[in-house]
């Protein structure tokens, strides 16, 4: 491990020296965002980052890029939006303005759940039951994201599932909605009810 670490620190194209020592930085490398995960651009933050890299030389660390493999685009929101706008067709033909939720303000999750129950004509207790589960779950993944300003991990907690399942479920929902008039109709009804308050 010591030999590998030494090689990494001395390799001419490695950015590691700049992360662990401000004197070794190159002006075109921005270290702040990475170091923020380890306590910031401080001596303790830089040491924490160096330990993390050294640990990765001897053990298998979880690769954050694997989380999105096959499920979507990885990156900050503006990057994801730019890639979608440039390379992907809109997932559904009739799509509300993305800023619609922001204009309305945040919609409370309870109102969204009540809306889904009303649109599906079920009691809240019946929502998870077989037959309603698929549409209900999909609506409860998509609507809080659009109108509740909830992030996917928060939606996962609300539904008792992992956030990666929310990401996959939302993607599947948008694909299914394009081919399923019944699902389109339910989604439009829910949108209308939420928009009208």
Q: What are phi and psi of 62, to 5 degrees?
A: -65, 130
Look up the CATH architecture of domain 92-196.
Orthogonal Bundle (1.10)
Round to whole Å and give the CA distance between 187 and 14. 50
Say what the pLDDT of residue 19 is: 92
Helices and strands per DSSP (H, E), number in the chain: 11, 0
Determine how many CB atoms are found less than 10 A away from the CB of residue 164: 15
Say what the pLDDT of residue 172 is: 83
User: What does the block give as tokens for 171?
Assistant: 């993607």
pTM recorded for the entire structure: 0.45
Closest CA to 156 of 166, 146, 168: 166
Beta carbons within 8 Å of 80's beta carbon, 6+ residues apart: 72, 73, 74
User: What does the block give as tokens for 181?
Assistant: 């008039």
Say what the pLDDT of residue 147 is: 81
Say what the pLDDT of residue 80 is: 72
Beta carbons within 8 Å of 56's beta carbon, 6+ residues apart: none
Round to whole Å and give the CA distance between 117 and 127. 7
Beta carbons within 8 Å of 74's beta carbon, 6+ residues apart: 64, 65, 67, 68, 80
Residue pLDDT tens, the chain, 197 long: 577 777 877 888 889 899 999 999 988 888 888 888 788 899 998 998 888 888 887 776 655 555 444 445 666 777 777 777 776 655 544 344 344 444 445 778 888 888 888 888 888 777 665 555 567 888 888 888 888 778 888 888 888 788 788 888 888 888 888 888 888 888 888 888 887 66
Integer-rounded Cα Rg, in Å, for the chain is: 22
DSSP conformational letter for 65: G
Helix H or strand E encompassing 117: helix 109-120
Distance of CA 130 to the CA centre of its chain: 27
Round to whole Å and give the CA distance between 116 and 122. 8
Locate the domains of the chain by residue range.
2-58, 92-196
């Amino acid at each position: 491990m010591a030999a590998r670490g030494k090689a990494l620190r001395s390799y001419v194209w490695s950015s590691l020296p700049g992360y662990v020592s401000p004197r070794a930085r190159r002006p075109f490398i921005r270290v702040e965002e990475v170091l923020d995960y380890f306590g910031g651009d401080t001596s303790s933050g830089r040491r924490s980052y160096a330990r993390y890299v050294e640990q990765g030389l001897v053990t298998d660390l979880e690769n954050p890029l694997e989380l999105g493999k096959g499920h979507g685009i990885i990156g900050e929101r503006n990057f994801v939006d730019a890639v979608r706008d440039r390379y992907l067709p809109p997932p559904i033909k009739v799509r509300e303005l993305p800023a619609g939720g922001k204009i309305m303000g945040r919609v409370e999750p309870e109102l969204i759940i009540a809306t889904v129950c009303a649109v599906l004509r079920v009691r809240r207790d019946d929502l998870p039951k077989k037959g309603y589960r698929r549409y209900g779950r999909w609506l409860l993944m998509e609507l809080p994201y659009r109108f509740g300003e909830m992030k996917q991990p928060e939606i996962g907690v609300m539904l008792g599932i992992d956030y990666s399942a929310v990401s996959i479920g939302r993607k599947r929902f948008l694909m299914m909605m394009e081919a399923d008039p019944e699902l389109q109709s339910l989604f439009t009804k829910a949108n209308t009810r939420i928009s009208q308050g």
